Amino acid sequence: MRDLGVGFRYLVRGQRWVARHGKQYGFGLIPGLITLVLYLGALTALALWGPDFVAWATPFADGWSSPWLGLFRGLLTAVLFALALLLAVVTFTAVTLLIGQPFYENLSEKVDRDVSPDGSAPESGLPLWRELVISARDSLRIVMRAALWGVLLFGLGFVPFIGQTVVPVIGFVVTGFFLTEELTAVALQRRRVELRDRLALLRSRKTLVWGFGTPLGLAFLVPFVAVFLMPGAVAGATLMARDLLGEETADEDDEARPPVPGDMFRKPEVGA
């Protein structure tokens, strides 16, 4: 459980880092603002036409008497919007990172150079177009995994008591895990760590991941907050990636060091 606090501290340290580097913070806001406009448009459309979609999808209920018809379709509309909101929280990071790949790559590299004892930062050695293809491919895989979890939780949401208590908690924990994967991917992809190895690395320290990603997922539910936290989240995820891989960090708090180094997951750098 100690890792929960460590993960949260990385989230806070990331926000502090961007607060000290205003230029990086300003550039990091641009992709989030673009994504926010797109998502607000999609959620607004769902709010306006969601009831019509539910009515079209449930023709068998047309003959139901009042108030059962209204209650049934109202519940389905609310669940549909809640599911869309959950997926929006998970995919917001993936879409923002894809749009802002050059911005966040640069930010993550500067964090690495700032905290590395020798002032260096790992480089993938790949051209930008190749990094974008890999990022888009991996993001799609993560979104598909998140969607499967979303469908499962959607179904469990109809189970009495469990659907109203346990399922929301599981939903935020799952969201936190996938958010952390997307954010740490910026630093780990530069180190040539493949998706399968990244997932194994994160699963090896789940409480650390939950401590970082779950509070962030909750914060992302507040309108506009995600945009302003994204640059710091990328910075904090970079610091956490160094922890996961057992890399030395200048002025590192001893409590933040991993109990087991993760060097086995690190790919050799190009030209090594």
Question: What average pLDDT is seen over the chain?
Answer: 81
In a domain, 49, yes or no: yes
| Interatomic CA distance for residues 66 and 128, integer angstroms | 58
Cβ atoms 90, 178 nearer than 8 A: yes
In a domain, 271, yes or no: no
In a domain, 38, yes or no: yes
Helix (H, G, I), strand (E, B) or coil at 134: helix
Write out pLDDT tens, residues 82-105: 778 777 776 787 788 888 888 888
| Interatomic CA distance for residues 124 and 168, integer angstroms | 38
In a domain, 272, yes or no: no
Confidence at residue 238, expressed as pLDDT on a 0 to 100 scale: 95
Q: Pseudo-torsion of CA 65, 68, 70, 75, nearest 10°? A: -160
In a domain, 94, yes or no: yes
Write out pLDDT tens, residues 141-191: 887 887 788 788 777 777 777 777 788 888 888 888 988 998 999 999 999
Domain count along the chain = 1
In a domain, 270, yes or no: no
- Asked whether residue 211 carries a pLDDT value surpassing 80, the answer given is yes
Q: Residue 4 has which token pair? A: 């929960």
| Interatomic CA distance for residues 125 and 199, integer angstroms | 22
Least confident of 187-191, 197-201, 218-222, 227-231: 218-222
Q: Tokens 């994160």, residue? A: 202
Contacts of 163 (CB under 8 A, 6+ apart): 156, 157
Q: What range defines the domain where residue 28 resides?
A: 2-265
In a domain, 98, yes or no: yes
Residue type, 82: A
Angle (deg, nearest 10), helices 162-190 and 225-244: 60
